[in-house]
């Protein structure tokens, strides 16, 4: 005998009575919304946007790339339903990954067959593949699995579970970091949503970094061949000085590798308005190529030495590019990447990084070709540049077959488009927006897109906004942001502001910085300072106005800025 489908009210009442949703009215509303929409035949049309507006109180400007509240609440719901499914409640509920459809299966008597949800089977098959796009993967990492939660909570450790962990979130190639939900310690006067808000900020920021793989409880990556870490956040708001504790622990040896205490100055129920930036900065400290986890991971034992080698390649590249290490380190970086690629690495990061290195070499060869005096040497330099560009294109083709939306691949593509003489500024602008849409709070990415937006595209307003965000998150590369600010000021502000910014940009060993500073000083009428810049430029081989203009022309800056700088470096007292 076939059982009748369960009524929505019966499901909600049963779940509420078990207490698995805790005291969260939001979780109850979310479950009710999903069940009701499904019962009305609108289940396949549910979107994150509609959940955000209809259930979670977000506004019309809700953006899933910036606000992960829907994914956070869906994670909590899957986790709560996994707890519910462990009890003898007469039925189970499972929400497949990347879907908002609920599979409800009643408990069966002998001879019965499950039918509730049978009509959903056809509609759910392939939904994960169809709707779980690459942008969702890059925006928020692996999503949360109720099946896996049930396995982990039951303590069952089988080979199937290990394989499931690999397939649904854990990485063998980079360190895994499990995010433990934020909790209150002691009685709190803060609103209960404060914990969810912090989790939202942490997850939104951390998933931007490819050097660490982010997973969420109850996923357990303990059996993976790469190092495993846990991030624990606690709110201590009952003390005289409220604070938030953030700790990252190496799970193998139970050693703390990072800790930070964040003071909270608030008298109300809500967290301070700028607390989000604090957690975005913490994410960078933890998950960047020079971050705490990367530094610690390279001191740990990896089950697969090849994965450790690939990982160390990426940190070596960062050290070279960030710290301006000697040329032999530059060659070591390239050799490390080339070796990994030759061995068939499936890490798209490595291909994107190597393509970027070839791009930089190609620019150097092209510049050498333009300044070479002999026709033979000029032709050889340009030929070498073209060869490097072709190697970059081949690498990107392979990388895009692995992961077309990998951020290092997209950044390499951005740079290569700039090399084409026939590139479309609209094409470049769309790629910049795509990159920033994926990683809106990664200062290392925003620094690149801000410079491209300004000096190549000429979208100075957008460039300034990107630079402001990046500078708010990371001041270690502030001089590069000042290029954007100075270019904007030269074009759209008064001479005094441009001159003030140029003082921050001054670097006696940089031709580009000195020429922009000279233009600013001449425009502001700072004759004495302009003379200092001219002497510095002469020491670098630029002695005449014609030398200045030739160099600026070789930089291929955005047309308006190019004309403005040439005008003012050419000005006579």
The pLDDT-based confidence of 398 (bands split at 50, 70, 90) is very high
Same domain, 347 and 308: yes
Do the Cβ atoms of 292 and 256 come closer than 8 Å?
no
* CATH code of residue 449: 1.25.40
Asked whether residue 88 is assigned to any structural domain, the reply reads yes
> Has residue 19 got a pLDDT over 60?
yes
HEC profile of 185-200: CCCCCCCCHHHHHHHH
Identify the domain containing residue 241 by its residue range: 170-297
The pLDDT-based confidence of 480 (bands split at 50, 70, 90) is confident
CA angle 518, 524, 528 (to 5 degrees): 60
The whole-angstrom separation of Cα 1 and Cα 551 is: 85
Q: What is the pLDDT of residue 378?
A: 67
Same domain, 126 and 202: no
State how far the alpha carbon of 454 is from the alpha carbons of 58, 135, 181, 461, in Å.
33, 26, 40, 8
Check the CA dihedral 452-455-456-460 and report its sign. Answer: positive
State how far the alpha carbon of 138 is from the alpha carbons of 133, 141, 405, in Å.
9, 6, 7
Helix (H, G, I), strand (E, B) or coil at 261: strand
Same domain, 479 and 377: no
Lowest mean pLDDT among 93-102, 202-211, 220-229: 93-102
When the pLDDT of each residue in the chain is averaged and rounded to a whole number, the result is 81
Q: How far is CA 289 from the centre of its chain?
A: 12
The whole-angstrom separation of Cα 399 and Cα 210 is: 15
> Has residue 160 got a pLDDT over 50?
no
Same domain, 249 and 311: no
Averaged pLDDT for residues 384-404: 89
Same domain, 309 and 419: yes
Asked whether residue 160 is assigned to any structural domain, the reply reads no
State how far the alpha carbon of 470 is from the alpha carbons of 244, 293, 464, 507, in Å.
24, 21, 10, 21
Task: Give the relative orientation of helices 25-39 and 69-86 as an angle to the nearest 10 degrees.
Answer: 90
Asked whether residue 333 is assigned to any structural domain, the reply reads yes
pLDDT in tens, 263-322: 988 667 778 888 999 999 999 999 998 899 999 999 999 999 989 988 998 888 877 665
Q: What is the pLDDT of residue 332?
A: 79
Asked whether residue 436 is assigned to any structural domain, the reply reads no
Q: What is the pTM of this model?
A: 0.67
Lowest mean pLDDT among 4-8, 67-71, 178-182, 305-309: 4-8
Please enumerate in sequence order all residues whose Cβ is within 8 A of that of 428, keeping only pairs 6 or more positions apart, or say none.
Answer: 414, 417, 418, 452, 456, 457
Same domain, 122 and 185: no
Closest Cα to residue 168, out of 75, 34, 93, 292? 75
Same domain, 220 and 237: yes
Same domain, 220 and 110: no
Do the Cβ atoms of 233 and 278 come closer than 8 Å?
no
Asked whether residue 147 is assigned to any structural domain, the reply reads no
Asked whether residue 164 is assigned to any structural domain, the reply reads no
| Torsional class of 141: left (φ above 0), alpha (ψ -120 to 50), beta (otherwise) | left
Other Cβ atoms within 10 Å of 490 Cβ, number? 25
The residue from 423, 454, 488 where one domain ends is 423
* Tokens encoding 347: 């890490």
Q: What is the pLDDT of residue 31?
A: 92
The whole-angstrom separation of Cα 81 and Cα 506 is: 59
The residue from 423, 458, 491 where one domain ends is 423
Same domain, 180 and 292: yes
Same domain, 207 and 330: no
The whole-angstrom separation of Cα 392 and Cα 370 is: 21
The pLDDT-based confidence of 454 (bands split at 50, 70, 90) is very high
Same domain, 463 and 356: no
Same domain, 509 and 480: yes
Report how many domains make up the chain: 4
Asked whether residue 161 is assigned to any structural domain, the reply reads no
Asked whether residue 153 is assigned to any structural domain, the reply reads no
């Amino acid at each position: 005998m076939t059982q009748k489908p369960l009524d929505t009210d019966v499901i909600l009442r049963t779940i509420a009575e078990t207490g698995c949703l805790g005291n969260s009215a939001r979780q109850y509303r979310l479950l009710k919304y999903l069940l009701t929409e499904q019962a009305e035949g609108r289940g396949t049309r549910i979107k994150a946007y509609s959940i955000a507006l209809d259930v979670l109180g977000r506004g019309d400007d809700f953006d899933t790339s910036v606000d992960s509240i829907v994914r956070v609440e869906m994670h909590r719901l899957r986790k709560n339903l996994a707890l519910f499914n462990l009890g003898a409640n007469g039925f189970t509920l499972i929400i497949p990954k990347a879907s908002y459809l609920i599979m409800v299966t009643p408990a069966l008597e002998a001879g019965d067959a499950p039918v509730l949800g049978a009509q959903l089977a056809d509609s759910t098959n392939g939904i994960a593949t169809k709707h779980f796009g690459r942008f969702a993967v890059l925006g928020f990492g692996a999503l949360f699995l109720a099946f896996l939660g049930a396995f982990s909570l039951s303590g069952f450790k089988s080979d199937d579970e290990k394989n499931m962990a690999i397939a649904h979130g854990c990485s063998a190639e980079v360190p895994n970091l499990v995010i433990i939900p934020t909790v209150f310690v002691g009685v709190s006067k803060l609103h209960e949503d404060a914990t969810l808000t912090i989790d939202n900020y942490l997850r939104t920021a951390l998933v931007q970094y490819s050097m660490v793989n982010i997973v969420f409880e109850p996923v357990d990556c303990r059996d993976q061949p790469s190092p495993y870490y846990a991030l624990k956040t606690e709110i201590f708001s009952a003390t005289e000085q409220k604070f938030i504790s953030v700790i990252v622990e190496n799970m193998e040896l139970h050693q703390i590798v990072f800790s930070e205490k964040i003071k909270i100055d608030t008298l109300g129920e809500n967290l301070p308005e700028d607390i989000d930036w604090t957690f975005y900065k913490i994410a960078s400290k933890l998950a960047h190529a020079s971050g705490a986890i990367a530094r610690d991971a390279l001191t740990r034992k990896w089950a697969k030495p090849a994965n450790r080698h690939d990982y160390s390649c990426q940190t070596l590249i960062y050290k070279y590019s960030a710290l301006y290490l000697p040329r032999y380190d530059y060659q070591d970086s390239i050799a490390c990447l080339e070796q990994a690629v030759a061995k068939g690495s499936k890490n798209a990061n490595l291909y994107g990084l190597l393509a970027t290195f070839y791009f930089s070499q190609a620019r150097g060869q092209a510049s050498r070709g333009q300044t070479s005096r002999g026709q033979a040497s000029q032709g050889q330099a340009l030929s070498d540049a073209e060869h490097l560009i072709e190697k970059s294109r081949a690498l990107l083709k392979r990388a895009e077959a692995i992961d077309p939306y990998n951020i290092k691949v997209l950044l390499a593509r951005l740079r290569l488009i700039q090399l084409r003489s026939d590139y479309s500024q609209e094409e470049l602008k769309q790629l910049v927006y795509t990159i920033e849409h994926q990683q809106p709070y990664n200062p290392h990415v925003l620094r690149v897109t801000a410079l491209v937006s300004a000096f190549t595209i000429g979208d100075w307003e957008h460039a300034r906004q990107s630079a402001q965000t990046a500078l708010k998150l990371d001041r270690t590369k502030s001089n590069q942001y000042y290029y954007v600010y100075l270019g904007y000021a030269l074009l759209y502000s008064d001479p005094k502001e441009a001159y003030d910014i140029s003082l921050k940009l001054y670097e006696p060993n940089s031709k580009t910085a000195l020429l922009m500073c000279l233009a600013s000083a001449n425009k502001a009428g700072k004759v004495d300072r302009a003379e200092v810049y001219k002497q510095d430029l002469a020491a670098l081989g630029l002695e005449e106005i014609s030398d200045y203009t030739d160099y600026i022309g070789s930089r291929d800056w955005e047309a308006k800025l190019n004309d403005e700088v040439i005008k003012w470096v050419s000005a006579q007292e």
